[in-house]
């Protein structure tokens, strides 16, 4: 198996891009990534996206984006795994390069959310869940995560303030991130007083709705010499699935997919979780961030939120986590999120993170999930 490297990254800001279509966003991020390694001509385009069919009445994104980039002829397809679409697109391209099938790929995640009204966005996000037994009964994606959060608080005596830790940290980290959706600090009181969406979850417990696209060029070790900029190696990329609906699981608070994907990814990279010094976790909802760090073995069961509150996941002094704000602060254009996570890890490991730079980081882990830990994709990245 050959080594695979991230050669360059590019992304749009995350937010309300009223003037840009799904293709405009994709092309903007793609051009930036291509410009970062001008000698590399990608042999494959992989697009990660969750619901372009619903948001833009547009499928066939592979060919659409390839044409949009002026790369007609390039093999291209879309990968979909709900909110893990971006991570899964990267994993797919990684495996194609690693196996020797191709030497380079452009991986691009994009989501256009704001063309829908709020009810339609909820509906679109909910397509990650069972149409027959979850959507049918009116359970939105937020409501599922709210029930998960209530159970988490009940089982482990987690307080409102504990739950607020991840969102507060995320906003603090996003302040200096030029591409972040929310560059404004929030306090514990702000979270506790924000509007209830689905109790116990409040507005500031939930990742925002936003448009965005992120892209990266992946190359094999055989063509890495053509890249001028710094390289980050994708040491491994693995995924796993859990029982489809979280209420079908014997232990609803066990993020088994994350556990399994992380275990496999660390094993195949020859590293252990203690080697990881930069972390991107899928903090779509406050309790999901906590359950994720627990599943990764970084916090004990029921301790994730409290550990965050005590500074364990601070970018300055803790295990540097989501230092551009994560899904909560940078934003969560669903199908693009997994690529933003890897792109941001690339920036951290190459020392290009500017004001968001975490100190002395060399091994990064990015966890991207679809559904309520129904699909998990974990990438381990190493500074070259």
Partner 1 sequence: MSISYWRLKDRYYRLIGVSCEDCKSEFFPPVHVCRRCGSRKLVDRDMPRTGKIVTYTELRETLAGFEDQEPMLLCIVQLENGVKVLGQIVDTTVENLSIGDKVKAVFRKIQEHGSSGQIFYGYKFVKA
- Choosing from 17, 282, 332, 379, which is the catalytic residue? 332
- Residue 143 binds partner 1, judged by CB under 8 A: yes
Helices (H) and strands (E) in the chain, counts: 13, 12
- Residue 18 binds partner 1, judged by CB under 8 A: no
Q: Tell me which residue has tokens 């490297």.
A: 5
State how far the alpha carbon of 346 is from the alpha carbons of 9, 195, 277, 305, in Å: 8, 35, 13, 26
Site for partner 1 in 151-190 (CB under 8 A): 151, 154
Q: What is the token pair recorded at 361?
A: 């980081």
Name which position in 18, 137, 157, 355 contacts partner 1 (CB under 8 A): 137
Cα 39 to its chain centre, rounded Å, is 28
Name the residue nearer to partner 1 (CB basis): 113 or 146: 146
Q: What is the token pair recorded at 340?
A: 């933003």
Contacting range for partner 1; rule: CB under 8 A; set: 118-126, 270-278, 324-332, 363-371? 118-126
What is the contact mask toward partner 1 in residues 236 to 275, using x (rule: CB under 8 A)? -------x-x-xx---x-----------------------
Strands (E), the chain: 4-11, 45-48, 76-79, 104-111, 196-198, 201-202, 212-220, 232-241, 278-280, 320-321, 363-370, 375-383
How many residues of this chain bind partner 1 (CB under 8 A)? 37
What is the contact mask toward partner 1 in residues 197 to 216, using x (rule: CB under 8 A)? xxxxx---------------
126 is a catalytic site residue: no
Name the residue nearer to partner 1 (CB basis): 125 or 237: 125
At closest approach, how far in Å is the CB of 271 from partner 1? 33
Q: Report the interhelical angle of 22-35 vs 61-68 (nearest 10°).
A: 60
Contacting range for partner 1; rule: CB under 8 A; set: 89-97, 146-154, 289-297, 300-308? 146-154
Q: Tell me which residue has tokens 């969406």.
A: 197
Active site (catalytic) residues: 83, 332
């Amino acid at each position: 198996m050959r080594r695979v490297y991230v050669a360059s990254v590019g992304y749009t800001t995350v937010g309300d891009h009223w003037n840009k279509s799904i293709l405009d966003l994709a092309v903007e991020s793609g051009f930036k990534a291509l410009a970062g390694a001008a000698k590399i001509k990608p042999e494959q385009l992989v697009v990660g996206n969750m619901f372009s069919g619903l948001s833009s009445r547009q499928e066939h994104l592979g060919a659409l984006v390839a044409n949009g980039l002026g790369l007609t002829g390039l093999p291209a397809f879309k990968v979909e795994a709900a909110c893990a679409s971006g991570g899964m697109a990267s994993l797919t391209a990684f495996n194609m390069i690693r196996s020797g099938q191709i030497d380079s790929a452009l991986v691009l995640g994009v989501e256009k959310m704001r063309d829908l009204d709020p009810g339609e966005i909820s509906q679109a996000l909910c397509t990650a869940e069972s149409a027959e037994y979850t959507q049918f009964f009116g359970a939105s994606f937020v409501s599922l995560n709210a029930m998960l959060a209530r159970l988490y608080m009940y089982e482990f005596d987690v307080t409102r303030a504990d739950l607020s830790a991840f969102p507060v940290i995320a906003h603090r980290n996003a302040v200096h991130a030029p591409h972040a959706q929310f560059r404004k600090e929030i306090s514990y009181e702000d979270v506790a007083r924000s509007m209830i969406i689905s109790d116990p979850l409040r507005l500031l417990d939930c990742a925002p709705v936003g448009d965005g696209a992120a892209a990266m060029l992946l190359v094999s070790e055989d063509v890495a010499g053509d890249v001028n900029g710094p390289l980050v190696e994708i040491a491994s990329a693995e995924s796993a699935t859990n029982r489809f609906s979280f209420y079908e699981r014997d232990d609803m608070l066990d993020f088994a997919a994350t556990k399994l994907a992380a275990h496999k990814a660390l094993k195949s990279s020859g590293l252990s979780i203690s080697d990881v010094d930069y972390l991107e976790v899928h903090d779509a909802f406050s309790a999901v961030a906590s359950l994720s760090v627990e599943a990764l073995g970084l916090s004990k069961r029921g301790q994730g939120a409290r550990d965050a509150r005590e500074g364990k996941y601070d970018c300055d002094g803790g295990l540097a986590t989501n230092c551009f704000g994560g899904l909560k602060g940078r934003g969560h254009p669903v199908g693009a999120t997994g690529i933003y996570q890897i792109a941001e890890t690339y920036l951290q490991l190459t020392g290009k993170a500017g004001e968001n730079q975490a100190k002395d980081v060399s091994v990064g882990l990015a966890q991207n999930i679809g559904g309520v830990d129904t699909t998990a994709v974990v990438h381990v990245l190493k500074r070259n």
